[in-house]
């Protein structure tokens, strides 16, 4: 068979694939006769209302000298770890604002950090393509620095995201610029499973975020520069269980909904979306024009403990609080008087849902508490 014939067959096959993809898209659209907000409105549901004291900034954590890129809470709610462009991890007592650890990193270009389930260790990763583990109970070296207790090497690109498997200090999942996710055994420092890469059902561009299902820790979802999110089962590394298209830009962040049956995404296309892992359907799009045809990228998202609220940080400094049921913005943290002076790059809820922590390019972290009659939502 000649090269010309091969090219013709390739073009024909590509056209067939595109045609089938379009027909599938139309079929899915015909099955989705409504979204969450449409159904909620038909049932007479009304949006939440927020007064001036319902979400208030009660702490500002100052100590970093560079942009804050990532943060994570411990499961016992009162400690936070943050990662910054200044090349340090800082562990904070959220109740007193005091620093318990300031860890100088081997590589200053850190992108992600995570607390272990017991709160005894922290992990981080970045442009050095490794995930470094620090045992907070270790003794400091002669220079006063906490030594790396384990280095997880094997990725061929930057480590964009890391998260410990719930209830285990021994396993961790990372996402990377090499288009793969990896499940690690921290005890041995070896890769247990690689998701994507040479497998056709994997991502076709950098993986930017991972989120593990808290109800079923065998499941996790990943978001990528290929504009999709994918659902994986740690027992079946060879293929993704589902692929979730819909976004028109990089999927910068993924986060499981509290019930574990859905997950949210944030993208460069300026939208957040809610997907159902059981049906594969998109349930809702959360988007609001910020200016004249302006849809700034979404960089970080988090759900309240009930799932009724979705917090989303945008590159223009806005941090919208969405009512997930009715797809309405009920508050913009970015517009409050005591908010951050630059874009909010990361955020997370405490384990009991009573406090929100935001990290910003202004080098600070802020803790927000539900006040008034709203203790937890």
Q: Residue 16: which residues within 8 A CB-CB, separation 6 or more?
A: none
Give the model's pLDDT for residue 290.
59
Token reading at 232: 């994986």
Q: Is the pLDDT of residue 22 over 80?
A: yes
List pLDDT tens digits, range 112-145: 999 999 999 999 999 999 999 999 988 887 777 8
Q: Is the pLDDT of residue 372 over 60?
A: no
Distance CA 298, CA 84 (A): 19
Q: How confident is the model at residue 187 (pLDDT cuts 50, 70, 90)?
A: very high
Q: Is the pLDDT of residue 291 over 70?
A: no
List pLDDT tens digits, range 58-99: 899 999 999 999 999 998 868 999 999 999 999 999 999 999
Give the residue among 337, 367, 291 at the shortest CA–CA distance from 93.
367
List pLDDT tens digits, range 341-356: 899 999 999 998 989 9
- Record the pTM: 0.89
Q: Is the pLDDT of residue 188 over 60?
A: yes
Q: Is the pLDDT of residue 191 over 60?
A: yes
Q: Give SS3 for 116.
A: coil
Q: Is the pLDDT of residue 199 over 90?
A: no
In order of 126, 269, 273, 345, the CA distances from 248 in angstroms are 26, 6, 12, 21
Q: Is the pLDDT of residue 292 over 70?
A: no
Distance CA 184, CA 165 (A): 10
- What is the rounded average pLDDT of the residues 326-333? 92
Hey, how many other C-beta atoms are within 10 angstroms of the C-beta on 268?
20
List pLDDT tens digits, range 214-272: 999 999 999 999 999 999 999 988 889 999 999 999 999 999 999 999 999 999 999 99
Where is average pLDDT lowest: 261-265, 317-321, 369-373? 369-373
User: Is pLDDT larger for residue 237 or for residue 190?
Assistant: 190
List pLDDT tens digits, range 103-114: 999 889 999 999
Alpha-helix residue ranges (DSSP H) falling in the chain? 3-31, 36-42
329 neighbors 311 (Cβ within 8 angstroms):
no
319-323 β-sheet, strand order:
298-303, 309-314, 319-323, 328-332
- What is the rounded average pLDDT of the residues 190-215? 90
Q: Residue 211: which residues within 8 A CB-CB, separation 6 or more?
A: 163, 220, 221, 254, 255, 256, 263
The burial of 277, by beta-carbon neighbours within 10 Å (0-12 exposed, 13-18 middle, 19 or more buried), is given as buried
Q: Residue 109: which residues within 8 A CB-CB, separation 6 or more?
A: 85, 87, 126, 127, 128
Q: Give kind and range of the element (H or E) at residue 88.
A: strand 88-93
Give the model's pLDDT for residue 374.
53
Give the model's pLDDT for residue 56.
87
What CATH number labels 36-370? 2.130.10.10
Where is average pLDDT lowest: 5-14, 169-178, 324-333? 5-14
Rg (CA), the chain: 21
The burial of 12, by beta-carbon neighbours within 10 Å (0-12 exposed, 13-18 middle, 19 or more buried), is given as exposed
Give the model's pLDDT for residue 92.
96
372: left (phi over 0), alpha (psi -120 to 50) or beta: left
Q: Which position has the token pair 């994986």?
A: 232
Give Cα 374 distance to the centre of its chain.
25
Sequence spans of domains, the chain: 1-31, 36-370
């Amino acid at each position: 068979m000649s090269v010309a014939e091969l090219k013709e067959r390739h073009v024909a096959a590509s056209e067939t694939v595109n045609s089938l993809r379009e027909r599938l898209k139309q079929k899915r659209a015909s099955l989705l006769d409504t979204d969450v907000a449409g159904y909620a409105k038909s049932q007479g549901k009304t949006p939440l209302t927020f007064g001036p004291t319902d979400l208030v900034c009660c702490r500002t954590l100052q100590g970093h000298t560079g942009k804050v890129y990532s943060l994570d809470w411990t499961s016992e709610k009162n400690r936070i770890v943050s990662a910054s462009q200044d090349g340090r991890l800082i562990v904070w007592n959220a109740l007193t604002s005091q620093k318990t650890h300031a860890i100088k990193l081997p590589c200053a270009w850190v992108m992600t950090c995570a607390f272990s389930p017991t709160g005894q260790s922290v992990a981080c990763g970045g442009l050095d393509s490794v995930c470094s583990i620090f045992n907070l109970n270790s003794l400091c070296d002669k220079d006063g620095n906490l030594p790396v207790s384990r280095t997880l090497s094997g990725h061929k690109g930057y480590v964009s995201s890391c998260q410990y498997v719930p209830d285990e200090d021994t396993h961790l999942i990372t996402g990377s610029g090499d288009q793969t996710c990896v499940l690690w055994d921290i005890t041995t420092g070896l890769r247990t499973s690689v998701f994507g890469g040479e497998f056709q059902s994997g991502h076709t561009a950098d993986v930017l975020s991972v989120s593990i299902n808290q109800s079923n820790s065998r499941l996790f979802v990943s978001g990528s520069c290929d504009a999709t999110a994918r659902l994986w089962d740690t027992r079946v590394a060879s293929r993704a269980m589902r692929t979730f298209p819909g976004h028109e830009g990089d999927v910068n962040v993924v986060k499981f909904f509290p019930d574990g049956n859905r997950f949210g995404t944030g993208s460069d296309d300026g939208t957040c979306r809610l997907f159902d892992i059981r049906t594969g359907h998109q349930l809702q799009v959360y988007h609001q024009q910020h200016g004249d045809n302006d849809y700034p990228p979404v960089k970080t998202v988090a759900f309240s403990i009930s799932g009724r609220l979705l917090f989303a940080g945008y590159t223009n400094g806005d941090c919208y609080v969405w009512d997930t049921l009715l797809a309405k913005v009920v508050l913009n943290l970015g517009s409050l008087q005591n908010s951050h002076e630059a874009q909010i790059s990361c955020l997370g809820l405490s384990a009991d849902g009573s406090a929100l922590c935001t990290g910003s390019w202004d080098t600070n972290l802020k803790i927000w508490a539900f006040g008034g009659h709203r203790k937890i939502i």
